[in-house]
C-alpha cells in the first residue's frame, strides 16, 4: 500500500514538472520570438538607418591625460614640474610600412642611428602600446617639417605630451625619484583604463609612493575621425582632473648644502626635525640627473637594486654597520639592565678577552683608555668598556632593546622600497649564516660591528629618539601627511619614557655633548664655533681588518675600497633639539675626520641660515 | 544513436552542436579581439580543459552526482568567502580568485550549482508537495550564496543566479498559492530595491536603457554602439572580419558581453537565425533528455538547465540589442572567459551523465 502511495506521489510530481516545464518553455519561446522580431527590426527594417550611422560613425572617444601634480619643497620651490614635449610617434597598428615612414622622416630631419635602434627596441618591449615614440624633444622647425609629410602616411603623428622636469637634477634625485615608461611589471599593478593615454608612471622615490595623488584622473575627448582613424576635429570634451601637488618637508637650500658637502664621496646624509619627523634634507651619493634617464631604456627597477648604480638610494637601502654610533644605546641598555650605573668605573686596557679564549678584542686606541666610567667611555669612544657591557648584557637583551629603536625593521617613511637592515639574533645567524651564535659575536655587536646592519635613515631615527629622550617620531617627506602612531610604537614610547629614567637620558646626552664640546671628545675639533651646542657620536666602521699591530699611518695607504666607513650622528641645540643629522661617508677613514665635520657643518648651516629664514 | 560511445557521450547531435558552437566562438573571438591570436589560443586551451572535464563528468553516475551536490554547494560558498577576503580586485569589485595561476569567478558557476543543489533538496521528498518550510529552505539555498555575490558587488550576476534558482523551484512544483504570494512580495520589493539597494551606477545603467542619450559617453555609449553594430549588419552581414564597428573598436567589451553584436554585424540577420537554430537544437536535445530522464533529480536538473540555457542566451542578446541593461551575462559557449565556459560544460557533462541512465 505504502509503496504504491509513494509511486503515486512521484508520478504526480513528474507530471507537474512536465506541465511546468511546458509553461516555462512556452514563455521563453515567446521571449525568443520577440527577440527575433527585435533583430528583424534592427537589421532588416532599420538597416538603412543604422547603416548610415555606421558609415558616419566617426565619433571616437579619446582619453586625455591629466596634468601630473607638481612637487614642491617646504618653501614652495618647484622640485618636479611638467613641460610640453613634442615627439614623433608612429602607430604600429595603423602604419603599413614603418621603414618607409622612418626613411621619409630622415629626409626631412636629423634622426640618429641610436634613436632608430631605440625605436625598434621599444617596439618589441612595449608591444602593448599602439604608438611608439621615434624622436622626442622636437624643435619648432622639426615639428613643421614632419607635419608637412604627415598626410602621406597613416600612423605617423606629432604629439604633444607633458614631460617631467626635475630642475634640481642630481641634488634631489633620490628623494623625488623619477617617472619612466610603463613596463610590463607596472602594467600588472596599475588600473590600465586610467593609463590609456599616459605612457609613464612613477618608478622610484616620491614619484612612486605618491603616484595615485600626483596622477589625477583622465578626461575624455569626443573627436571626429576619418575612415582611416585620423582625428579631424573636437566635438566636445570632459576635461581631465589634474593630479594634486605635493609639498615636501625638504628644504632645497639645505639639500643643496648637504649635496655640496658629500660631492665627490660615496655615502648618505639625512637631516630630520626631531619634533615632527620632517625630513629636511636627504642625499645619497653618487647621484644621477633624473632628466637624462627619463625616457631612455633604463630599467629603474633593476638599477635601484645595484650597489654601484647612481640610482641606488643609500639613505634607505644602503646597509652599514653602525659602528660606535650605537654606543649610546648600548649604554642606556646597560644602565637599565643594571649591568653598570653611571658611576661604575673600570680599567680599560688595550684589549678585552673572553674567559677561556685567547682572542683579543682590541680597542681603537693601542694603549687603552685607562680608568673610565660610562660617560667617559662614550666621550672617548672606548671600545673595551662596551665589549664588557655587551658581554654582560648578552645578545637577547641587546637585540630587544635595539628593536625599540626600529632596527631590523622599516621606519615607515613615505618612500617605496625601504630596507629593513639586519638586527642579528641567535636564530638569525643560524638561519642565514648557518653557524651558531658565539659570545664573540655579542662582544663586537657592542661596538656596532659584526652582523648588525643599519640604514642611514634608521640611524637618524635612532638619533632622534636620543635627542627626544624617548619620544618617537616617524620620518616623513610629505608635509601634509598625518601619521598616526601604531600601537607598537606607542608601547615602545611608553617603555622608553617610563623604564628609562630621565637622568639616564640626560647623562647619555651630556656625554654626547662632550663628544663635540670637551677637549678629549672624538669630535671636538669638528666645529670651531660651539654656539649651537651640538651633541653627537662618531663611528668608524672597519671594512677590512688589519693586523692589530699595524701602524695607524699604514691605514692611509690602503686601497680605497678597503678603507673605513666614516659615520656620525648628531643633534642640536642640546636643550631643545631642532635638527638631527646622520651621515655616512664610505671608504674614507674615521668618523671624526669626515662624517662628523660634515654633519656639524650641516647642523650649523641649518640652525644659522635656514631655520631663521623659515 | 548510442551505438558507439566516446566516454559518456550518448547524444551525438548534442555533442556536435556544442563542439561546433564553441569552436565557432573561437573564430568569432579572433574577429572580436582585432585578430589577437594570443587571446584565441588562451581561450582555446581553456576550451580543451572544459571538454576533458565534460567527458569525465559524463562518466560519473548521476546518483553519485546527486549525492555530492550539497558538498559542491558548500565548497562554492567557501570559495565565495575566500573571494571576498582575498579576492582579486578589478575595477573596485572583488570577483576573482586565483588558483594555481588561473583566475576564477565563483559566481559564474553558481548559475549551475544553485539549481543542482535545489534539485537535490527538492528530490529528497519528491512525493510531498512544497510547503512553506520547504519553500523557505529552498529560497535560503538561493540567497546564501547570492548575499556574497551582492557584496562583491555584482548585482547583475546575483539577479541571474536568483532567476536560475526560481526556475528550479518553479519546476519543482511550488504551489500556485505561493506563486501569487511571491509575485505580490516581489512587486513591493522593486521600489524598495531601487531606493536602498541599487548603487548609482546601476540605476544609471537602467535609466540609460530607456534613453541611451542620457549618458552617451558612459553607459549609454555601449548601447548606442552595440545597436549600430547589430543594425548595420543588415540581412547578410558585412562578412567575417569586416565589421567596422568592432574592427574600429567602437564597440566596448567585444569579447564578452557584446560578442553577439560582433557576430550580428558580421553575419547579419540570417547568421543570427542560424545561431538561434543551433541553440534550438541544443535545447531540444536537452528537453528530450529531461522528458526521458528516469529519476526526479535528473528531471528537475535537466529541465532547469534547458530553461536556464535559453534564459542566458536571451539575456545576452537582449543586452546587445538594447532591451536589457548591461548586466554582464556571457553568451553560452561563445563569449570569452573561462569561468562561464566551465560552468556550462559542467552542466553539459551532467546532462550526458543523465542521458546514460535513460
Q: What is the pLDDT of residue B90?
A: 65
Cβ-contact A464, A274 below 8 angstroms:
yes
| B248 touches A at CB < 8 Å | yes
Helix axes B62-86, B106-124, angle to 10 degrees: 140
| B227 touches A at CB < 8 Å | yes
Query: Is pLDDT above 50 for A1?
Result: no
- At residue B106's C-alpha, the angle toward residues B104 and B110, to 5°, is 140
Average pLDDT of B37-63?
A: 92
Residue contact B272–A39, C-beta within 8 A? yes
| DSSP letter assigned to residue B104 | E
Partners of A582 in the β-ladder: A270, A569
Average pLDDT of A269-287?
A: 95
Best probe of the B interface among A1, A7, A13, by most B CBs < 10 A, is A13
Provide the mean pLDDT of chain B.
Answer: 86
Query: Is pLDDT above 80 for B252?
Result: no
In angstroms and rounded to an integer, the radius of gyration of the C-alpha atoms of chain B is: 20
Q: What is the pLDDT of residue A335?
A: 94
Cβ-contact A471, A344 below 8 angstroms:
no
Q: What is the pLDDT of residue B66?
A: 94
Cβ-contact B213, A53 below 8 angstroms:
no
Q: What is the pLDDT of residue A471?
A: 94
Residue contact B234–A44, C-beta within 8 A? yes
Q: What is the pLDDT of residue A211?
A: 93
Cβ-contact A345, A388 below 8 angstroms:
no
Per-residue confidence band for A446, with pLDDT thresholds at 50, 70 and 90: very high
Q: A60-247 with A313-524: one CATH topology?
A: no
Per-residue confidence band for A454, with pLDDT thresholds at 50, 70 and 90: very high
User: How many percent of chain A have pLDDT more than 70?
Assistant: 91
Residue of chain B nearest A24, judged by CA positions: B307
Q: How far apart are CA A277 and CA A492, in angstroms?
A: 17
Provide the mean pLDDT of chain A.
Answer: 87
ipTM score here?
Answer: 0.90
Residue of chain A nearest B294, judged by CA positions: A14
| A515 alpha carbon, distance to own chain's centre | 32
Q: What is the pLDDT of residue B1?
A: 41
Cβ-contact B135, B173 below 8 angstroms:
no
State which fold the A60-247 domain adopts.
Penicillin-binding protein 2a (Domain 2) (3.90.1310)
Residue contact A28–B310, C-beta within 8 A? yes
Q: What is the pLDDT of residue A336?
A: 95
Structural domain range at position B344: 12-356
User: How many percent of chain A have pLDDT more than 90?
Assistant: 53
| DSSP letter assigned to residue A422 | B
Cβ-contact A567, A583 below 8 angstroms:
yes
Residue contact A191–B91, C-beta within 8 A? yes
Which of A:342-401 have CB within 8 Å of B? none
| B218 touches A at CB < 8 Å | no
Q: What is the pLDDT of residue A528?
A: 77
Min distance B160 CA to chain A CA atoms (Å): 15
In a domain, B154, yes or no: yes
Model pLDDT for residues B100-123, shown as the tens digit of each residue: 666 778 889 999 999 999 999 998
Q: List the CATH code of the domain at A313-524.
A: 3.40.710.10
Residue contact B227–A42, C-beta within 8 A? yes
For residue A162, give the nearest of A252, A62, A80, A76 by alpha carbon: A80
| B239 touches A at CB < 8 Å | no
| A307 touches B at CB < 8 Å | no
| DSSP letter assigned to residue B197 | I
Q: How far apart are the first and last CA of chain A?
A: 101
Q: What is the pLDDT of residue A9?
A: 65
- Which stretch of DSSP H or E encloses residue A514? helix A502-517
Model pLDDT for residues B169-201, shown as the tens digit of each residue: 999 888 888 999 999 988 888 888 787 777 777
Residue of chain A nearest B238, judged by CA positions: A51
| A27 touches B at CB < 8 Å | no
Q: What is the pLDDT of residue A126?
A: 65
Q: How far apart are CA A56 and CA B213, in angstroms?
A: 17
For residue A598, give the nearest of A328, A202, A258, A165 by alpha carbon: A258
Residue contact B268–A40, C-beta within 8 A? no
Which of B:291-310 have CB within 8 Å of A? 291, 296, 299-300, 303, 306-307, 310
Residue contact A25–B230, C-beta within 8 A? no
Residue contact A36–B273, C-beta within 8 A? yes
Matching residue, cell 536603457: B209
For residue B149, give the nearest of B138, B165, B134, B133 by alpha carbon: B165
Helix (H, G, I), strand (E, B) or coil at A418: coil
Q: What are A475's three cell numbers?
A: 620620518
Cβ-contact A229, A434 below 8 angstroms:
no
Per-residue confidence band for B255, with pLDDT thresholds at 50, 70 and 90: confident
Residue contact B321–A20, C-beta within 8 A? no
In angstroms and rounded to an integer, the radius of gyration of the C-alpha atoms of chain A is: 34
Judged by average pLDDT, the poorest of A46-55, A239-248, A460-469 is A46-55
Q: What are A569's three cell numbers?
A: 650622528
Matching residue, cell 540589442: B321
| B194 touches A at CB < 8 Å | no
Cβ-contact A90, A101 below 8 angstroms:
yes
Best probe of the B interface among A42, A59, A224, by most B CBs < 10 A, is A42
Q: What is the pLDDT of residue B211?
A: 66
| A359 alpha carbon, distance to own chain's centre | 41
Q: What are A132's three cell numbers?
A: 611608439
Average pLDDT of A279-291?
A: 92
CB atoms within 10 A of CB A159: 11
Q: What is the pLDDT of residue B337?
A: 82
Number of inter-chain CB pairs under 8 A, A vs B: 125
In a domain, B5, yes or no: no
Which has more pLDDT, B34 or B316? B316
In a domain, B50, yes or no: yes
DSSP assignment of B3-34 equals SS-BTTB--HHHHHHHHHHHHHHHHHHHHHTT
| A384 alpha carbon, distance to own chain's centre | 37
Q: What is the pLDDT of residue A229?
A: 59
- Which stretch of DSSP H or E encloses residue A371? strand A370-372
Best probe of the B interface among A28, A33, A235, by most B CBs < 10 A, is A28
Helix (H, G, I), strand (E, B) or coil at A378: helix
Which of A131, A209, A287, A324 is an active site residue? Answer: A324
Q: What are A95's three cell numbers?
A: 602604419
Identity of the residue in A9, A25, A31 whose CB atom sits nearest the CB atom of B127: A9
Q: What is the pLDDT of residue B54?
A: 94
Matching residue, cell 542560424: B274
What is the domain partition of chain A in residue ranges? Answer: 2-57, 60-247, 313-524
Q: What is the pLDDT of residue B235?
A: 92
| A192 touches B at CB < 8 Å | no
Contacts of B173 in chain A (CB under 8 A): 13, 16-17, 20
Per-residue confidence band for A4, with pLDDT thresholds at 50, 70 and 90: very low
Q: What are A64's three cell numbers?
A: 586625455
Query: Is pLDDT above 90 for B93?
Result: no
Q: How far apart are CA B185 and CA B147, in angstroms?
A: 19
Q: How far apart are CA A465 and CA A36, in angstroms?
A: 77
Q: What is the pLDDT of residue A127?
A: 59
Cβ-contact B337, B40 below 8 angstroms:
no
Residue contact A6–B172, C-beta within 8 A? no
For residue A451, give the nearest of A462, A440, A459 by alpha carbon: A440
Which has more pLDDT, B219 or A124? A124
Cβ-contact B94, B157 below 8 angstroms:
no
Average pLDDT of B50-63?
A: 93
Per-residue confidence band for B16, with pLDDT thresholds at 50, 70 and 90: very high
Q: What is the pLDDT of residue A194?
A: 81
Min distance A21 CA to chain B CA atoms (Å): 6
Q: How far apart are CA A310 and CA A290, in angstroms?
A: 10
Q: What is the pLDDT of residue A3?
A: 43
| A35 touches B at CB < 8 Å | yes
Model pLDDT for residues A488-510, shown as the tens digit of each residue: 999 999 999 999 999 999 999 99
Residue contact B314–A49, C-beta within 8 A? no
Per-residue confidence band for A58, with pLDDT thresholds at 50, 70 and 90: low
Model pLDDT for residues B261-302, shown as the tens digit of each residue: 999 999 999 999 999 999 999 999 999 999 999 889 999 999
Residue contact B269–A53, C-beta within 8 A? no
Q: Give the number of C-alpha atoms closer than 13 A to the C-alpha of residue B323, restricted to the C-beta side.
A: 17
Model pLDDT for residues A395-422, shown as the tens digit of each residue: 999 999 999 999 999 999 999 999 999 9
Best probe of the B interface among A50, A130, A193, A223, by most B CBs < 10 A, is A50
Which has more pLDDT, B152 or A340? A340
Per-residue confidence band for A555, with pLDDT thresholds at 50, 70 and 90: low
Residue of chain A nearest B128, judged by CA positions: A9
Helix axes A456-467, A502-517, angle to 10 degrees: 120
Identity of the residue in A9, A12, A31 whose CB atom sits nearest the CB atom of B314: A31
Identity of the residue in A9, A12, A46 whose CB atom sits nearest the CB atom of B231: A46
CB atoms within 10 A of CB A307: 10
Cβ-contact B161, A44 below 8 angstroms:
no
3-state secondary structure B117-182: HHHHHHHHCCCCCCCHHHHHHHHHHHHHHHHHHHHCCCHHHHHHHHHHHHHHHHHCCCCHHHHHHH
Q: How far apart are CA A601 and CA B7, in angstroms?
A: 84
Q: How far apart are CA A601 and CA A516, in angstroms?
A: 12
Judged by average pLDDT, the poorest of A250-254, A292-296, B30-34, B145-149 is A292-296
In a domain, B3, yes or no: no
| A127 touches B at CB < 8 Å | no
Query: Is pLDDT above 50 for A6?
Result: no
Min distance B35 CA to chain A CA atoms (Å): 12
Residue contact A47–B235, C-beta within 8 A? yes
Annotated active-site residue A217? The verdict is no
Best probe of the A interface among B91, B101, B212, B232, by most A CBs < 10 A, is B232
Q: What is the pLDDT of residue A282?
A: 97
DSSP assignment of B253-293 equals STTTTTHHHHHHHHHHHHHHHHHHHHHHHHHHHHHHHHHH-
Residue contact A24–B167, C-beta within 8 A? yes
Contacts of A14 in chain B (CB under 8 A): 296, 299
Q: What is the pLDDT of residue A393?
A: 95
Per-residue confidence band for A451, with pLDDT thresholds at 50, 70 and 90: very high
Amino acid at each position: 500500500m505504502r509503496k504504491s502511495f509513494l509511486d503515486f506521489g512521484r508520478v504526480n510530481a513528474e507530471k507537474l514538472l512536465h506541465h511546468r516545464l511546458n509553461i516555462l518553455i512556452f514563455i521563453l519561446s515567446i521571449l525568443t520570438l520577440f527577440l527575433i522580431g527585435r533583430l528583424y527590426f534592427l537589421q532588416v527594417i532599420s538597416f538603412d538607418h543604422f547603416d548610415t550611422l555606421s558609415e558616419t560613425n566617426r565619433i571616437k572617444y579619446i582619453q586625455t591625460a591629466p596634468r601630473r601634480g607638481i612637487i614642491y619643497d617646504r618653501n614652495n620651490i618647484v622640485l618636479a614640474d611638467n613641460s610640453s614635449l613634442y615627439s614623433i610617434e608612429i602607430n604600429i597598428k595603423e602604419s603599413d610600412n614603418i621603414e618607409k615612414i622612418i626613411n621619409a622622416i630622415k629626409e626631412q630631419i636629423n634622426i640618429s642611428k641610436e634613436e632608430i635602434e631605440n625605436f625598434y627596441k621599444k617596439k618589441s618591449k612595449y608591444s602593448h602600446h599602439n604608438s611608439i615614440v621615434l624622436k622626442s624633444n622636437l624643435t619648432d622647425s622639426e615639428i613643421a617639417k614632419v607635419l608637412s609629410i604627415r598626410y602621406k602616411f597613416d600612423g605617423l603623428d606629432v604629439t604633444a605630451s607633458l614631460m617631467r622636469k626635475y630642475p634640481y637634477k642630481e641634488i634631489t634625485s633620490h628623494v623625488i625619484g623619477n617617472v619612466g615608461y610603463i613596463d610590463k611589471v607596472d602594467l600588472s599593478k596599475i588600473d590600465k583604463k586610467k593609463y590609456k593615454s599616459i605612457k609613464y608612471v612613477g618608478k622610484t622615490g616620491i614619484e612612486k609612493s605618491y603616484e595615485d595623488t600626483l596622477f589625477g584622473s583622465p578626461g575624455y575627448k569626443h573627436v571626429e575621425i576619418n575612415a582611416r582613424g585620423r582625428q579631424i576635429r573636437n566635438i566636445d570634451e570632459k576635461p581631465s582632473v589634474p593630479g594634486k601637488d605635493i609639498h615636501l618637508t625638504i628644504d632645497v637650500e639645505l639639500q643643496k648644502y648637504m649635496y655640496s658637502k658629500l660631492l665627490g664621496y660615496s655615502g648618505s646624509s639625512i637631516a630630520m626635525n626631531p619634533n615632527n619627523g620632517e625630513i629636511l634634507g636627504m642625499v645619497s651619493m653618487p647621484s644621477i640627473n633624473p632628466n637624462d634617464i627619463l625616457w631612455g631604456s633604463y630599467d629603474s627597477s633593476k638599477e635601484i637594486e645595484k650597489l654601484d648604480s647612481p640610482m641606488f638610494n643609500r639613505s634607505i637601502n644602503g646597509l652599514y654597520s653602525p659602528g660606535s654610533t650605537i654606543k649610546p644605546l648600548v649604554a642606556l641598555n646597560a644602565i637599565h639592565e643594571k649591568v653598570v650605573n653611571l658611576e661604575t668605573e673600570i680599567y680599560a686596557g688595550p684589549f678585552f678577552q673572553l674567559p677561556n679564549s685567547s682572542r683579543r678584542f682590541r680597542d681603537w686606541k693601542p694603549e687603552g683608555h685607562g680608568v673610565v666610567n660610562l660617560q667617559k667611555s662614550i666621550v672617548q669612544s672606548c671600545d673595551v668598556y662596551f665589549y664588557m657591557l655587551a658581554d654582560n648584557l648578552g645578545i637577547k637583551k641587546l637585540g630587544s632593546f635595539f628593536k625599540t629603536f626600529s632596527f631590523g625593521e622599516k621606519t615607515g617613511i613615505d618612500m617605496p622600497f625601504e630596507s629593513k637592515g639586519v638586527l642579528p639574533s641567535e636564530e638569525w645567524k643560524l638561519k642565514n649564516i648557518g653557524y651558531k651564535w658565539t659570545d664573540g659575536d655579542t662582544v663586537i655587536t657592542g661596538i656596532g660591528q659584526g652582523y648588525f646592519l643599519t640604514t642611514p635613515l634608521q640611524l637618524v631615527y635612532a638619533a632622534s629618539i636620543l635627542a627626544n629622550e624617548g619620544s618617537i617620531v616617524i620620518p616623513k617627506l610629505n608635509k601634509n601627511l598625518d601619521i598616526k602612531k601604531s600601537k607598537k610604537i606607542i608601547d615602545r614610547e611608553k617603555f622608553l619614557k617610563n623604564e628609562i629614567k630621565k637622568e639616564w637620558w640626560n647623562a647619555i646626552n651630556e656625554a654626547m655633548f662632550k663628544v663635540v664640546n670637551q677637549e678629549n671628545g672624538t669630535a671636538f675639533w669638528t666645529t670651531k664655533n660651539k654656539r649651537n651646542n651640538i651633541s653627537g657620536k662618531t663611528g668608524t666602521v672597519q671594512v677590512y681588518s688589519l693586523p692589530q699591530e699595524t701602524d695607524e699611518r699604514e691605514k692611509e695607504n690602503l686601497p680605497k675600497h678597503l678603507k673605513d666607513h666614516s659615520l656620525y650622528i648628531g643633534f642640536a641645540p642640546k636643550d631643545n633639539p631642532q635638527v638631527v643629522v646622520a651621515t655616512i661617508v664610505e671608504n674614507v677613514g674615521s668618523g671624526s675626520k669626515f662624517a662628523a665635520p660634515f654633519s656639524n657643518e650641516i647642523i650649523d648651516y641649518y640652525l644659522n641660515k635656514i631655520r631663521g629664514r623659515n | 544513436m548510442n551505438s558507439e560511445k566516446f566516454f559518456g557521450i550518448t547524444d551525438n547531435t548534442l555533442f556536435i552542436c556544442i563542439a561546433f558552437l564553441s569552436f565557432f566562438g573561437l573564430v568569432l573571438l579572433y574577429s572580436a579581439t582585432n585578430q589577437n591570436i594570443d587571446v584565441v589560443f588562451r581561450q582555446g586551451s581553456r576550451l580543451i580543459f572544459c571538454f576533458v572535464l565534460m567527458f569525465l563528468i559524463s562518466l560519473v553516475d548521476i546518483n553519485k552526482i546527486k549525492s555530492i551536490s550539497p558538498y559542491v554547494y558548500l565548497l562554492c560558498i567557501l570559495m565565495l568567502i575566500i573571494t571576498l577576503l582575498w579576492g582579486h580586485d578589478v575595477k573596485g569589485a572583488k570577483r576573482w580568485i586565483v588558483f594555481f595561476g588561473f583566475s576564477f569567478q565563483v559566481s559564474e558557476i553558481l548559475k549551475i550549482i544553485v539549481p543542482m543543489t535545489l534539485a537535490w533538496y527538492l528530490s529528497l521528498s519528491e512525493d510531498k508537495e512544497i510547503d512553506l518550510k520547504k519553500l523557505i529552505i529552498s529560497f535560503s539555498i538561493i540567497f546564501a550564496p547570492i548575499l556574497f555575490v551582492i557584496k562583491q558587488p555584482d548585482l547583475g550576476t546575483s539577479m541571474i543566479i536568483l532567476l536560475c534558482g526560481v526556475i528550479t523551484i518553479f519546476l519543482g512544483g511550488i504551489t500556485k498559492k505561493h506563486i501569487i504570494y511571491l509575485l505580490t512580495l516581489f512587486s513591493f520589493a522593486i521600489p524598495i530595491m531601487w531606493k536602498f539597494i541599487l548603487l548609482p551606477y546601476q540605476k544609471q545603467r537602467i535609466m540609460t536603457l530607456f534613453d541611451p542619450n542620457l549618458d552617451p559617453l558612459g553607459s549609454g555609449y555601449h548601447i548606442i554602439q552595440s545597436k549600430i553594430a547589430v543594425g548595420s549588419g543588415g540581412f547578410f552581414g558585412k562578412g567575417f572580419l569586416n565589421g567596422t564597428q568592432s574592427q574600429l573598436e567602437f564597440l566596448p567589451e567585444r569579447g564578452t558581453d557584446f560578442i553577439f553584436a560582433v557576430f550580428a554585424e558580421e553575419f547579419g540577420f540570417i547568421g543570427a537565425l542560424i545561431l538561434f537554430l543551433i541553440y534550438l537544437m541544443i535545447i531540444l536535445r536537452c528537453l528530450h533528455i529531461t522528458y526521458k530522464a528516469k529519476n526526479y533529480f535528473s528531471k528537475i536538473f535537466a529541465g532547469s538547465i534547458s530553461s536556464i540555457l535559453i534564459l542566458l542566451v536571451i539575456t545576452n542578446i537582449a543586452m546587445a540589442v538594447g532591451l536589457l541593461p548591461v548586466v554582464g551575462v556571457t553568451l553560452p559557449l561563445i563569449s570569452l572567459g573561462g569561468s562561464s565556459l566551465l560552468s556550462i560544460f559542467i552542466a553539459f557533462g551532467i546532462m550526458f551523465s543523465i542521458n546514460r541512465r535513460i
